[in-house]
Amino acid sequence: MRMIVRKSTKIALRRTSSLYVILLLFFIVLFYFFITKRAMSSLSDKPRQIIFIGGYPRSGTTLMRVLLDVHPMIRCGPETRVIPKLLNLRGQWGTGKESERLKAAGLYPDVIDSAVRSFILSLIINAGETSPVLCNKDPLSFIHLEYMAKIFPDAKFIHMVRDGRAVINSLVKRNVTIRGAPKEIDDRFLAWEIRVSQFIEACNAIGSTRCMTIKYESLVLQPTEVLQTLFNI
């Protein structure tokens, strides 16, 4: 009986701790949003085009970032690694008990979305020198591609895709681990196939005027033609 009580207590504490962490991170973002609101409003006076580069890791997102960075009108900052984590948290806030608790506290989705958008935008803007077009490369942020398209209605998205065999080979050779991904080669390939299919579906849903899927192999063999097509869009 005592063991059952202890186990139940541990589970309850774990859930409470998880909620506190989520709320703490949220209030950090919200606080950041409000203290930088004045600075952000001055920045927003100057229209900026935002480009997001994403896709499955080891699919050519870095190459695309480097090529875009060469353009005098485009500035791509470093990979933040923070944006995907923030988007994952936002996904948790949008469902289940956490969502209900936040609403009960008066923190509705539009408020949270504004805070998330401002935080992401400030990361991108402050990552380097000012430029008419800014871009960000955080590959796994595209797990939330449709949500990003919602909070950044004027942004453009580049989805990089590469032959799955080459992707898995590169991941294994470089000992790159993806959180939650299987370890067996066959399972890794299946995970890649499922995730890329989701990315392509989301990109198509956003529309060809805002999201473009580019093959890594085409970019390597015909960089000029691919980039010209991209810039036309």
Residue-wise pLDDT tens digits, 110-138: 888 888 999 999 999 998 888 999 999 99
Catalytic residues: 79
Question: Which three-class secondary structure state does DSSP give residue 157?
Answer: strand
Q: Please indicate, yes or no, if residue 134 is contained in any of the structural domains.
A: no
Q: Tell me, yes or no, whether 152 and 225 share the same domain.
A: yes
Read off the pLDDT of residues 82-109 as tens digits, 9 standing for 90 and up: 999 999 988 877 666 766 676 666 667 8
Co-location of 94 and 207 in the same domain: no
Boundary residue ending a domain (91, 126, 161)? 126
DSSP state of 78: -
Kindly give the parts of the chain with pLDDT less than 70. Answer: 1-47, 94-96, 98-100, 102-107
Q: Within a 13 Å sphere around the CA of 40, how many CA atoms are in the beta-carbon half?
A: 17
Query: Does some domain include residue 146?
Result: yes
Residue 132 lies in a domain: no
- Which H or E element spans position 158? strand 156-161
Are residues 115 and 190 located together in one domain of the fold?
no
The predicted pLDDT at position 5 comes to 39
Measured in residues, the chain has a length of: 233
- 119 and 168 fall within a common domain: no
Q: Where are the alpha helices (DSSP H) in 36-163?
A: 37-44, 61-70, 82-93, 96-104, 109-125, 145-151
Residues 111 and 226 in one domain: no
pLDDT, residue 194, reads 96
Q: Does residue 173 form part of some domain?
A: yes
Residues 224 and 115 in one domain: no
* Total domains in the fold of the chain: 2
**Residue 10 within any structural domain of the chain:** no
pTM summary value: 0.81
Same domain (yes/no): 61, 122: no
Confidence at residue 225, expressed as pLDDT on a 0 to 100 scale: 95
> For residue 104, what pLDDT is reported?
67
40 lies in the same domain as 147: no
Domain of 100?
Answer: 16-46+81-126
Do 165 and 69 fall into the same domain?
yes
